Homo-oligomer: A and B are copies of this chain.
Amino acid sequence: MTEISSDVIRGCNDTIILYCLLSEPSYGYEISKMIKTKSEGKYIIKETTLYSAFSRMEKNGYVESYSGEAEGTGKKRTYYRITDEGRKYYSEKCEEWTLTKEVIERFIEENSNGNY
């Protein structure tokens, strides 16, 4: 059983996280759930990866954080909202992905049914 390549994902975590913020703000725990669900359990982002991506992207102006409350309980959470810069970055990342994917696939041989 093959697993996701964390070395490929590396270039895409920002994109994946920003995708989760496109329609509305969210917070760490929820985003990690979204990623798991959307990938049908195939990709489970590490907490440290996620939170360090948040701070990097906030520093770069792609997301903004604010403190909000959980519904029901008045417990605090840190929400993240994508900025205009972040949307721009996201769409550039999508283009970049498409181009990169096309290049890589020239070097991929599907089939190779164990013929080694």
Residues of A within 8 A of B (CB): 2-12, 15-16, 19-20, 22, 38-39, 42-43, 84, 87-88, 90-101, 103-104, 106-110, 112, 114, 116
Contact = CB atoms under 8 A, between A and B. Distances in A.
A103 B110 CA distance: 17
Contact of A38 (B91, B92, B107): B107
A38 B102 CA distance: 11
Nearest to A92: B2
Contacts of A88: 116
Contacts of A100: 4-5, 8-9
13 contacts: A8-B97, A9-B103, A9-B104, A22-B109, A38-B107, A39-B103, A91-B109, A91-B114, A94-B109, A94-B110, A97-B104, A98-B110, A101-B101
